Amino acid sequence: MKQIIFFIALFILSSFSISLRAQSVALPKESIIGFTSNWKGERFPDGRPKVPDNILERMKDVSLENAWSVVRGAGYNNQFAGEWQTIHPDQVMVGRALTAQYMPKRPDVEDKLKATGQKEGRIGGTNSWPIDMLSTGDVYVADAYGKIADGTLIGDNLGNSIYAKSKNGVVFDGAVRDLEGLAKIEGFNAFVRGFHPSFIAEMMLTGVNLPIRVGLVTVVPGDIVLAKKGGILFVPAHLAETVVQTSEVITLRDEFGHMRLKEGKYTPGQIDTRWSKEIEADFAKWLDANPGKLKMTRAEMDNLLKTRTW
C-alpha cells in the first residue's frame, strides 16, 4: 500500500497535476508519508516527520562538514546549498522544513489555487498561507526560483508572524523586503538570495508541503534545516539523529586527541590514523572520568564506533 501511495505522489508532482491541487493547497498527508517513509518516528498531523526537539537543539552544534560526511555517506549527495545572503551570519538556524513552491504567475492556475484556498478557509494573500501552517521549530523553506526584484515573499509584518509561530526563520530561494525591520526581530533569521524594496508581483503559490528544489537540492517536508554562515545542509529526517550523534562523538574524540597531543602522550601519526586498542582504552577511561561530556548512552556510542566510516 505504501508503494502505491508513493508512486501516486510521484506522478502528481512530475506532472504538476492541477486537478489534485484543486482539491487541496497542500500535498495530502498520505503523499508526505510516502515521500518520507524511511522515517519511523512521530509525525505532525500534516504527515511531516517530527524529529524530536532535543535532536534539533543538539544539531545546532554540528558542523556542516560533519553533517555532510554522514549525509553523503548514506548516499545523499545533493543536500547542500550555498551562496546565501543572511540577516545574521553568525546566528545558527535549525528546524524542520515546511516547504512552499512559487512559480511565475499564470492567471488560470492562480485562480484555481485561490478558489481552493477559499474553500479551505485560508485568508489573506497566498504568500501568507504557508505561514499559517507553521509550528514551533519549523523553518519556512520556499522555492521562489531565485527571483529578487518583485520576488519578496515577506516583509517585517509577515516576518513577525513567522517568528511568533515557529520561533525560527526562513530559507527562500528568492528575496525578502524590509531588511531593517526583519533585523529587529530577536531570534529571527533569513537565508535568501537577495534583499529588495519591491513588493511581491507576477508570481504565484503553487503548493505547500511538497518536495521542492532549492538550488541543487531536493527538499522534502520535514527535512532538518542546518543553516550556518557557510551554507545550508538539508538533512533527511531519518538521518538527523545519526548526524547529531556522529558529530558529538567526533567532537569528543578530537577534544581527547588534542589534549593527549599537547601532553605529548601520543604522536600525531597515532592520533591521525585509526586508533590502537591502547588509545581506545585511554579514551574510554577519559569518558568515564568525564561522564557529562557524552550526550548519548555508551551503548549508542559504541555502536557508532563499530559501524563508522570515518
The answer to whether 144 and 151 have CB atoms below 8 angstroms apart is yes
DSSP structural state of residue 201: -
Q: Examine the domain organization and report whether 214 and 176 are in the same domain.
A: yes
Q: Which domain holds residue 110?
A: 77-235
257: its cell numbers: 586527541
The reply to whether 43 falls in a domain is: no
List the chain pLDDT tens, one digit each, 310 residues: 544 444 444 444 443 443 344 479 999 999 999 999 999 999 999 999 999 999 999 999 999 999 999 999 999 999 999 999 999 999 999 999 999 999 999 999 999 999 999 999 999 999 999 999 999 999 999 999 999 999 999 999 999 999 999 999 999 999 999 999 999 999 999 999 999 999 999 999 999 999 999 999 999 999 999 999 999 999 999 999 999 999 999 999 999 999 999 999 999 999 999 999 999 999 999 999 998 999 888 888 888 888 776 6
End-to-end CA distance of the chain: 37
**Rounded to the nearest 10 degrees, how much is the dihedral formed by the CA atoms of 46, 243, 7, 214?**
80
**Annotated binding residue 157:** yes
The reply to whether 173 falls in a domain is: yes
Q: Examine the domain organization and report whether 82 and 221 are in the same domain.
A: yes
Question: Cβ of 92: how many Cβ atoms within 10 Å?
Answer: 14
Q: Examine the domain organization and report whether 207 and 86 are in the same domain.
A: yes
The reply to whether 155 falls in a domain is: yes
What is the Cα–Cα distance from 115 to 189, expressed in whole angstroms? Answer: 32
**Annotated binding residue 158:** yes
**Annotated binding residue 150:** no
218: its cell numbers: 531536493
**pTM (whole model) above 0.85:** yes
Q: Examine the domain organization and report whether 229 and 151 are in the same domain.
A: yes
How many structural domains is the chain composed of?
2
What is the Cα–Cα distance from 148 to 90, expressed in whole angstroms? Answer: 23
Q: Which 3 state secondary structure label does DSSP give 159?
A: helix
**Annotated binding residue 124:** no
